[in-house]
Structure 1
């Protein structure tokens, strides 16, 4: 069972009120994933439920209370050491992102609803909004906007260098027309070249290159920097063998076989080398027996695997070394 499936089983076992208390501490994207899994889960055997509970109990037994409620501890400690005034700015920097704004409500929305909400706003406003979203959610919303707007927005995302408090306050007021939020806003570090690259990674095949080309026509060095930071399916060859094996544990054979139909031979060799000989043989046989497939299906499977890779990188399970980045 995947981590999401185990979490769904555990929450279903807790009961409504306790499960609701747990969900309150999760990010929108996590709630959506677990909610969908819970809704589609059927015929879970008693043995599987017991296995999940036993695994959870074992993991819980190895943890401590360190880190629980650490925000308040850090705040009180710094105020005692530095005084309330001096500690204020430092606390804000350490706990950046804890303040809730009207923008955060967008993370719970369907990408189509986000696109409809910002469609008539200035491209700079759209760029700031997209920078606040998860890259895949931003990519889905962005592709629903006109092509000219998409290019303009990605260009602005790549050149964002923080947002002054007054600008963020004004944007929050726009969002507050529909959502409630906190007006105690600080300068926010969003956007940048990496943010633009992350969003383009989730664009449908071909759309990312169209946007990149048009950005390159406007600002060639910037387009090159964005391209260098993008992680594409063929970059899987740069993972070391241990990391590749960890990734393969998370990917189904069916999706892997479909994704490899459009992959470079070096990637195919890298993946099959990190599988058992029997598993690699079955994979190659299935690919040969499948026959012709649609390019859009191949690209979808590749994006699904890249999403898994990026999640694992965010969790620290694996590391992704972008172009021009020092590897340790």
Structure 2
């Protein structure tokens, strides 16, 4: 039987929504993005043996959080900019703010987030690489990585380099993007200049690609521009960089990761990462994990990479929400 600590964030959200009933749950899901809907939908489909006690705990937690909130609404763009800039600092806030405000006004770009990566690639594959770069910079990194993998191999390095060197989006580029989406979706967008792209964006997209594609693209980028390739590499966060996350962050991450994924991921991890994980678990949990590792036997490298990418995806999501801070060989990285 699961305990409260066994329910990760998506599982707790799934329990809460399922307790509301179909109609109410559907209304809540309407206000979520595609990634959140997918995560919670998967959790709903896989949940089993949830006790009444667990449901009660989830509902109690929800009530406690709501009681701390107010009904005050602030609709001013300038208010949003001021608050987020104060909270995050100008450099980090600019991209977040523009994505929020642009996304709110742009049905065309938002619709891409709900599309299958292959379909998005089909929509943009014949466009100029600069336009493709702008589109991929707007999407979530894992979505962009999947779209990039479906684009012709000959243009992938060029697109990634354009993402890395984007310094905001000029009005003329946005007008061109507007025309593309209008042709594809017969939509009408009200867009504004947005701080998308940059070396971090390129690194984040590569982080979500499989190792083979990632290596091929990076080799080509270094061949074309060695300095830019090194900058991208320095900002990439890989599984080995988990040793740079503080202990509290590792503990928070482990609460969100399934045992099966952790076992697979650690089969291909170096000793430093394993030690970091074991040190942040209870003695009993560490012993059980070690037993599972020894009993697992040989596994395919591809399985290990998938598990590590899954855990890194959870880590990036938690970093974006401020739950943990990721660090890498290039120094501390705030995502």
Interval of TM-score (by shorter of Structure 1 and Structure 2):
0.7 to 0.9
Match of 2:224 in 1: 218
Q: Which moved more, 1:167-176 or 1:215-224?
A: 167-176
Match of 1:152 in 2: 158
- Which whole-Å deviations, capped at 9, do the CAs of 1:203-229 have from their partners, x for residues lacking one? 002321221111011001100000000
Distance of aligned partners of 1:222 and 1:127 in 2 relative to their CA distance in 1, 3 Å threshold: same
Match of 1:296 in 2: 302
| Residues 1:99 and 2:90 aligned together | no
Match of 1:85 in 2: none
Unpaired runs of 5+ in structure 2? 1-6, 83-96
| Residues 1:69 and 2:68 aligned together | no
- Which whole-Å deviations, capped at 9, do the CAs of 1:121-180 have from their partners, x for residues lacking one? 222221111111100011111112222121111111111112112221221221122325
- Which whole-Å deviations, capped at 9, do the CAs of 1:33-71 have from their partners, x for residues lacking one? 223333444554444333322221122223333xx4212
Question: TM-score, with normalisation over the residues of structure 1?
Answer: 0.87
Larger Rg: 1
- Please point out which of 137, 143, 146 is paired with 2:143: 137
Shift of 1:101: 4.1
Distance of aligned partners of 1:25 and 1:327 in 2 relative to their CA distance in 1, 3 Å threshold: closer
Q: Is the 8 A contact 2:99 2:138 kept in 1?
A: no
Q: Is the 8 A contact 2:266 2:274 kept in 1?
A: yes
Q: Is the 8 A contact 1:158 1:191 kept in 2?
A: yes
Question: TM-score, with normalisation over the residues of structure 2?
Answer: 0.85
CA–CA distance in 2 between the matches of 1:57 and 1:243? 26
| Residues 1:6 and 2:9 aligned together | no
Shift of 1:327: 8.1
Unpaired runs of 5+ in structure 1? 79-91
Matched residue SS, 1:96: helix
Counterparts of residues 91-130 of structure 1 (less than 5 Å): 96-97=101-102, 98-130=104-136
Matched residue SS, 1:321: strand
CA–CA distance in 2 between the matches of 1:251 and 1:34? 15
CA–CA distance in 2 between the matches of 1:271 and 1:95? 35
Shift of 1:119: 2.1
Matched residue SS, 1:143: helix
CA RMSD of superposed structures (Å): 2.4
Count of residue pairs the alignment pairs up: 312
Q: Is the 8 A contact 2:319 2:326 kept in 1?
A: yes
Q: Which moved more, 1:124-133 or 1:41-50?
A: 41-50
CA–CA distance in 1 between the matches of 2:73 and 2:31? 12
CA–CA distance in 2 between the matches of 1:202 and 1:126? 18
CA–CA distance in 2 between the matches of 1:19 and 1:277? 40
CA–CA distance in 2 between the matches of 1:190 and 1:244? 29
Distance of aligned partners of 1:299 and 1:73 in 2 relative to their CA distance in 1, 3 Å threshold: closer
CA–CA distance in 1 between the matches of 2:182 and 2:18? 34
CA–CA distance in 1 between the matches of 2:321 and 2:127? 34
CA–CA distance in 1 between the matches of 2:279 and 2:65? 32
Distance of aligned partners of 1:94 and 1:115 in 2 relative to their CA distance in 1, 3 Å threshold: closer
Match of 2:86 in 1: none
